[in-house]
């Protein structure tokens, strides 16, 4: 079985900006995958290369085994992209927009699926409304629908929830999760890390055009410090704990622990040093911590 997305040694330069620097990445069929990174990291460039909107300087990109340049017809048929920019064609209604988009993929009698997509994205009541008259959130839904008209096995969503209300976000994710259960591969870029955390199994992180992390969510979170013990104490922190102390936060020491096994010795050390614990909190790291940590670590010195 070919990978849903295969990116090998892909580089792209825009003038003096190295947008992508030898990125290699494989996304399996049926995965729910997150592509994370700060603004300007190269996420959209990478997606544009997959979609054939941008040509890679070097390297190869394939969608469902089809080279995005050589076999562009098959690769584009296999891919549905929800672009980040809120674009629309002001000449047409929602239904016309979706019928036209179907036609571009050679689909003529596609109205059953168009109705289903509109139903799931809560667009049915706006079917005959001109695109111009829709709110931003509604236009975003139409963009999602347009990406799905040809039932692509691979769906890429570039910041689909930017500027979108909570209700749509939930409805959208329910629908996308259903498509994922039905076998579609989903690739997501988002600024909302909690979305990636709840939805995605595997995560890649990009920074300055380079791939800086690629692992399962669980491994990524495990890979750094695992637990943070926040204690506010009466007294001086014993020497044995200063090594794992990461400074004061609102008067509380922030101790980094590898696992739960280190919790008891830490508390014992505090007791032996005669410290009284005034407040204590144990924090599990989340994806946001990992993200910030990796981005900080990968900063050019």
Report the interface residues with other proteins, using CB under 8 A.
14, 48, 51-55, 72-74, 76-77, 79, 81, 83, 85, 87-92, 96, 100-106, 108, 146, 150
State in angstroms the smallest separation of the CB of 113 from other proteins: 16
Is the Cβ of residue 9 or residue 74 nearer to other proteins in the bound state? 74
In the complex, minimum distance from the CB of residue 262 to other proteins, in angstroms, rounded to a whole number? 51
Q: Whole-angstrom Cα distance, residue 73 to residue 71? A: 6
Q: In whole angstroms, what is the distance from residue 236 CA to residue 275 CA?
A: 7
98 versus 229: smaller Cβ distance to other proteins? 98
Minimum CB–partner distance for residue 13 and other proteins (Å): 11
**Number of C-beta neighbours around residue 252 at 10 A:** 17
Which residue's entry shows tokens 């695109």?
A: 131
The nearer residue to other proteins, 109 or 166, going by C-beta atoms, is 109
> Which CB, 21 or 96, lies closer to other proteins?
96
Estimate to the nearest angstrom the gap between the alpha carbon of 280 and the chain centroid.
33
Q: Any residues with CB less than 8 A from the CB of 220 and at least 6 apart, and which?
A: 203, 213, 287, 290
The rounded distance, in Å, linking the Cα atoms of 300 and 86 is 33
Q: Shortest Cβ distance from residue 196 to other proteins (Å)?
A: 24
Task: Tell me the closest approach of the beta carbon of residue 136 to other proteins, in angstroms.
Answer: 14
Q: Which is nearer to other proteins, 87 or 280 (CB)?
A: 87
**H-helix or E-strand spanning residue 157:** strand 154-158
């Amino acid at each position: 079985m070919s990978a849903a997305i295969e990116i090998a040694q892909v580089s792209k330069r825009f003038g003096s900006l190295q947008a992508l620097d030898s990125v290699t990445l494989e996304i399996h069929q049926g995965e729910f995958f997150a592509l994370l990174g700060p603004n300007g990291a190269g996420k959209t460039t990478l997606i544009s290369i997959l979609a054939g909107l941008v040509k890679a300087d070097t390297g190869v990109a394939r969608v469902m085994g089809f080279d995005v340049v050589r076999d562009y017809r098959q690769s584009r048929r296999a891919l549905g992209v929800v672009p980040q920019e809120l674009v629309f064609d002001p000449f047409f209604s929602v239904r016309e927009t979706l019928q036209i988009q179907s036609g571009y993929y050679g689909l003529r009698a596609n109205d059953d699926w168009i109705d289903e997509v509109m139903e799931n994205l809560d667009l049915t009541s706006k079917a005959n409304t001109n695109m111009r008259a829709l709110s931003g959130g509604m236009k975003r839904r139409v963009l999602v629908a347009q990406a799905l008209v040809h039932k692509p096995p691979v769906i890429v969503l570039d910041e689909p929830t930017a500027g979108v209300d909570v209700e749509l976000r939930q409805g959208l994710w329910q629908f996308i999760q259903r498509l994922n259960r039905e076998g579609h591969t989903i690739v997501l870029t988002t600024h909302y890390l909690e979305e990636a955390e709840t939805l995605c199994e595997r995560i890649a992180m990009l920074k300055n055009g380079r791939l800086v992390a690629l692992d399962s969510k669980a491994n990524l979170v495990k890979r750094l410090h695992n637990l943070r013990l926040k204690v506010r104490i009466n007294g001086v922190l014993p020497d044995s704990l200063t090594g794992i102390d990461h400074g004061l936060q609102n008067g509380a020491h922030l101790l980094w622990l590898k696992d739960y096994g280190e919790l008891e010795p830490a508390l014992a050390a505090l007791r032996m040093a005669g410290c009284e614990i005034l407040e204590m909190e144990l924090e599990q790291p989340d994806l946001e911590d990992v993200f910030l940590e990796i981005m900080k670590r990968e900063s050019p010195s």
